[in-house]
Structure 1
């Protein structure tokens, strides 16, 4: 599990989907590290990803760029990057930034994983 200054990231496989659990703040201090970590996942063939945001307290514009870059990379590889369990304040930032029209959001992590279908296949 990589530890990034203001954020902690853990990764696991669940039903063929890569679940990225993020805790803390996704900000200017941590966004670059998150971008690298997520890019490595996609480059290794893990193209069906879900970010569990239940532990994310804050996301900055740098954090939003990291999420968008990952979604773009996953989609170019034939997959997707979906977000789940956002706290109300983080959800509001995503809405104000227009991200709710670009990315798929789910109230619960399990729903986001299930949205990929059986064993992570669309």
Structure 2
């Protein structure tokens, strides 16, 4: 159950992230701020459900270290999303945020879906 909540919250987060980006690009700052606040509430769901998933590995599992790294990479994704939105809002270059977002997202997906139990493999 937690896995479905976690994945659904991430999908919603990326949708809200891109909606916020578009609204900033269109100059609709008030609407962008509202959507970004909803996105930040979604981050709480992600962090809680992710924490509950990681808790399952604290029983001496050999995958515990990978689960912790995945959790840290997930927090990095959230930070990169916030940095990208902030830079875009200010009209600055968001290249560093995008690069970090892609790297952190790749690590998170690789560990979450292909290494840790409960993923595709």
- TM class, shorter-length: 0.3 to 0.5
What TM-score, normalized to structure 2?
Answer: 0.35
Is the strand fraction higher in 1 or 2?
A: 1
Larger radius of gyration: 2
Is the helix fraction higher in 1 or 2?
A: 2
